[in-house]
Amino acid sequence: MEPITYLEAIRQGLWEEMERDPAVFLLGEDIAVYGGAFKITKGFLERFGEDRVIDTPLSEAAIVGASIGAALMGMRPVAEMQFADFISCGFDQIVNMAAKYHYRVGTPVPMVIRAPYGGRLHAGPFHSQCPEAWFVHTPGLRVVAPATPEDAKGLLKAAIRDPNPVIYFEHKYLYRHEKGPVPAGDFVTPIGVAAVRREGRDVTVITYGAMVQQSLEAAAAVAKEGIETEILDLRTLSPLDVDAIVAAAEKTGKVCVVHEATQTGGLGGEIAALVAERAFRALDAPILRVTAPDTPVPFSPPLEDAFLPKAEKIAARLRELASF
């Protein structure tokens, strides 16, 4: 249970699954010789060989298409989008092919697409987006977004073993900024099960990814003022843990949904609707959201700082809810 980084947890998960199952292989841009843009796959080529760690052309459509074909033939590909922003280049293959094969012909498509996403690294509008809502909206896909090293490893292992196509959103800021204990030995984090990260009686935050840490920071700040916050980490975005969401909403009657993605059409609206449908009678205040505004992610560090949801913004909304 020694603490490791979020990045190392992903690396361990990939390594262990490749050791465990010879059907698992990796493909993506610069993942073999170079070891990946973030060095997660450094050393994999030397250990597993060029047949299982494959450098691809700069074509996300080709990467996803090859992964689908391999999955249909019994392999378990793990494809890397160097940045989640570029996943749009493979969008047709993902939502019209991978997501629908099982529905159409009953054939499993056991593949994982790793999608490094999110801001706070001053990388500009083409390397900082949070596109998870596109895929949550697509039946046939599973979508996960771990917030801790333990879940980064456990959800990745679960995703690789799953018979469905899984989009695995890994937050780039967390790679080297988040560290925590990870159980020794083989384990998986179940897909579709949320986790309570902090117990509280006054207000509830429902969130995921890097916003879990920001929400915990906000909760610690308002706790000094006597406001106790329940924080629910979704972990899986599709399928949602509906029972956990409803229970968290009913516990306090005051709900704030937090995500880094832009607001309109984001997952926060779906969660708010779900709470309104299932827990309306328990609510004592309007459901609030803390999100990024509806603009591209700015490159300028001061503008990006203003753009992103942060602990201070979350704390302000928690105070607003608590006083309602």
∠ at Cα 276 (292, 314), nearest 5°? 30
Mean model confidence pLDDT for the chain: 97
Q: Does 315 lie in the same domain as 223? A: yes
Residue 75 covered by a domain: yes
Same domain, 214 and 174: no
Q: Are residues 137 and 230 in the same domain?
A: no
Q: Based on the domain organization, do 7 and 127 belong to the same domain? A: yes
CA–CA separation, 16 vs 32, rounded Å?
A: 17
* Mean pLDDT by groups of 10 residues along the chain of 324 residues: 93 98 98 96 97 97 98 98 97 97 96 97 95 97 98 98 98 97 94 98 98 98 97 98 98 98 97 97 97 97 96 97 94
- Same domain for 128 and 272: no
Catalytic site residue from 102, 122, 127, 177: 127
**Is residue 110 situated within a structural domain?**
yes
Same domain, 206 and 160: no
pLDDT of residue 2: 80
Looking at residue 206, its pLDDT comes to 98
Tell me whether residue 189 is in a domain.
no
Is 127 part of the annotated catalytic residue set?
yes
Please tell me whether residues 171 and 273 are part of one structural domain. no
Please give the pLDDT value at position 198: 98
In a domain, 186, yes or no: no
- Residue 287 has which token pair? 């459901």
Identify whether 129 is part of a domain: yes
Residue 1's pLDDT is what? Answer: 75
| Same domain for 10 and 150 | yes
176 shares a domain with 97: yes
59 shares its domain with 205: no
Give me the pLDDT at residue 57, please: 96
CATH of residue 16's domain is: 3.40.50.970
Q: How many domains does the chain have?
A: 2
pTM for this entry: 0.97
Is 188 within a domain?
no
Domain final residue pick, 120, 148, 181: 181
Q: Are residues 131 and 214 in the same domain?
A: no
Boundary of a domain, candidates 146, 181, 216: 181
Same domain for 118 and 68 = yes
- Are the C-beta atoms of 36 and 80 separated by less than 8 Å? yes
Separation in Å, CA 135 to CA 9, 33, 98: 24, 30, 12
Domain that holds residue 31: 3-181
